[in-house]
Structures are given as C-alpha cells and as structure tokens.
Amino acid sequence: MPEALDPVPLLKHLHEHGIEHIIIGGFAVVAHGHVRTSKDLDIVPDPAPENLQRLARLLVEIEAQHVGLEDFSPEEFPFDPTDPLQLAEGANFRLDTSLGPIDIMQWVAGIETDPAYTELDRGAIESSVDGVRVRVCSLEHLRAMKRAAGRPQDLEDLKRLGEE
C-alpha cells in the first residue's frame, strides 16, 4: 500500500503560486470529519486561463509526470499538464511530483456541470491547513462524487460520512 501523503507541501506551493482550486477526494473526507489517510491530493482548479497558466508553471517546477494509470487507460490522459492550453482542454491528470502525488480533476463523476469547478465553487467551504487557506468541496458534493465513483473506498467513505 502506498505511503500516506502529507499534503502540506503541495498545499503551500498551490497557495504561494496563487492557484485557485477546490479540494475533493480523501482530504475532503478528512475535512468533513472522518480521519483517514490518502495517497494523493485531489484538486479541481479554477479553469480561468490565468489560473491554469500558474498551475502549469507550478507543475513544471515540481516535476509533474503522469503516473498511476492502473484505474485508467492511457487514452484518457493524452494531454500535457504543463501546457496551459492543454490544461484548458479540461482533461484530468494523475501526476507524481517532487512534492508527492496530485490529481488534477476538471470533470468529476457525480458533478453535472462542466467544468466541475463552477458547481463546486458554489458550496465550497473555507478552512486552513498549517496556516494555508484551503477550499474544500461541500459535504453534499463530496457525497455525490463518492456515490458516482462507487469504488470500495468511496462506499466506505460514504458510511463514515453518515450515508448508508
């Protein structure tokens, strides 16, 4: 089993580079009260071109590379996440970086709008991790994403989040 990720270095770099994003996935589960480990940080970036340019620059800086394709076929990851124009195409990326694994999600199962950021932004909650401002998806959106994904970990998360 992969080692648990300390998200703080990634969160600090995202913040320092002014990248607007919303946290989803395992760390959102933690933010909503169920403590568990996660092997990566899942974010949905604001699709504004200037935000994606900042994100692409950061991904170059932290040596982002495609990885973890066991759940996906290579055809689902045809784009280069370090190119802001390709980021703007709206693809999802599973990346390894010098600061740890990060998933850049622009469309998400269970969220009907495309890009997902538009819908998630409406209900996002603000918090702080180690002095870094973070925004996390709402509990309602988190549950919708977990139901739509339906993997064993998602179903376990739903139970822990009060949904049987």
> What is the domain partition of the chain in residue ranges?
8-156
Is residue 1's pLDDT more than 50? Answer: no
- Fold topology of 8-156: Beta Polymerase; domain 2 (3.30.460)
The model's pTM? 0.90
Annotate 9-46 with b (16+ C-beta within 10 A) or e (fewer): bbbebbbeeebbbbbbbbbbbbbbeeeeebebbbbbbb
Which tokens in the block code for residue 22? 């919303």
pLDDT single digits (tens) 134-156: 999 999 999 999 999 999 999 99
